[in-house]
């Protein structure tokens, strides 16, 4: 039973480029959460999605960031026109139902140069 | 505003000792309190979790103590081992009946266990 998969594991982008982060939840999980972790800090919630629906995006910046979880395929976190402050580790988690027992992927480490 | 406050920021314990990490929360609607363990370069892994209807939960060397009236909970690692050296995060989330499933994390405690 494969765990949560994220790719790429490392992503380097220049300022102004776009970053696309992918997350495949565990089998049977229809709830996906994205969190961001800055150095020396805890994880901050960004967005919560179910298949084809955004349930809660209150933690996501209003501009440049978007997320989707299509009926088929992985969830995608998209960051347009990246800036240096976007450099962080982005983690995806999945669960079979709302809230508890969220299982995290290995993360995508984004570096903006 | 930090919904879950965690202390200490770092902790050094000798092998065989007890590691204790504390967390406090404000929102009484929180209904589920997990602890996560994270090794460098890896994602957080669910370690143990508790609901507020019990005061203690034990799994192997790991115990959560929960004090509902004080709105505090703590992680105890008995017989700490060098392999336990990692960053530990406490977290909380709202009642299962809510559609809002986000986890609120503490800032983390970096545990180092000396051999």
Is residue A11 pLDDT above 90, yes or no?
yes
**CA–CA gap between residue B11 and residue B112 (Å, rounded):** 6
| Confidence at residue A83, expressed as pLDDT on a 0 to 100 scale | 96
Sort out which chain B residues have CB atoms less than 8 A from A93's CB and list them. Answer: 103
Chain B CA closest to residue A46 = B102
Residue range(s) defining the domain that contains residue B78: 4-114
Sort out which chain B residues have CB atoms less than 8 A from A33's CB and list them. Answer: 101-103
Contact B46 A101 (CB under 8 A): yes
Q: Residues in chain B with pLDDT < 70?
A: 1, 95-100
**CA–CA gap between residue B71 and residue B93 (Å, rounded):** 14
Contact B44 A99 (CB under 8 A): no
Instruction: Please count the structural domains in chain B.
Output: 1
The answer to whether B24 and B10 are in contact (CB under 8 A) is no
Q: In this structure, what CATH number is given to the domain that contains residue B65?
A: 2.60.40.10
The answer to whether B17 and B82 are in contact (CB under 8 A) is no
pLDDT by residue (tens digit) across A94-105? 988 765 688 999
Judge if the upstream peptide bond of residue A8 is cis by omega within 30 degrees of 0: yes
Contact B36 A56 (CB under 8 A): no
| Confidence at residue A64, expressed as pLDDT on a 0 to 100 scale | 97
| Confidence at residue A96, expressed as pLDDT on a 0 to 100 scale | 84
| Confidence at residue B99, expressed as pLDDT on a 0 to 100 scale | 59
pLDDT by residue (tens digit) across A38-73? 877 789 999 999 988 999 999 999 999 999 999 999
């Amino acid at each position: 039973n494969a765990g949560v998969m994220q790719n790429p594991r490392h992503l380097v982008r220049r300022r102004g480029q776009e970053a696309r982060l992918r997350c495949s939840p565990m089998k049977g999980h229809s709830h996906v959460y994205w969190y961001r972790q800055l150095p020396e800090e805890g994880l901050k919630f960004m967005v919560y999605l179910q298949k084809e629906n955004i349930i809660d995006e209150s933690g996501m910046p209003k501009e440049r960031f978007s997320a989707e979880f299509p009926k088929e395929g992985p969830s995608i976190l998209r960051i347009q026109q990246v800036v240096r402050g976007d450099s962080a580790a982005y983690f995806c988690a999945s669960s079979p139902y709302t809230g508890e027992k969220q299982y995290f992927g290995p993360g995508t480490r984004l570096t903006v140069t | 505003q930090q919904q879950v406050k965690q202390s200490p920021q770092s902790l050094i314990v000798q092998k065989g000792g007890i590691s204790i990490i504390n967390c406090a929360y404000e929102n009484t609607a929180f209904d589920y309190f997990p602890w996560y363990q994270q090794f460098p370069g890896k994602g957080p892994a669910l370690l143990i979790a508790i609901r507020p209807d019990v005061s203690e939960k034990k799994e192997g060397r790991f115990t959560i103590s929960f004090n509902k009236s004080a709105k505090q909970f703590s992680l105890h690692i008995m017989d700490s081992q060098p392999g336990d050296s990692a960053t530990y995060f406490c977290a909380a989330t709202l009642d299962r009946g809510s559609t809002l499933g986000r986890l609120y994390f503490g800032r983390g405690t970096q545990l180092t266990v000396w051999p």
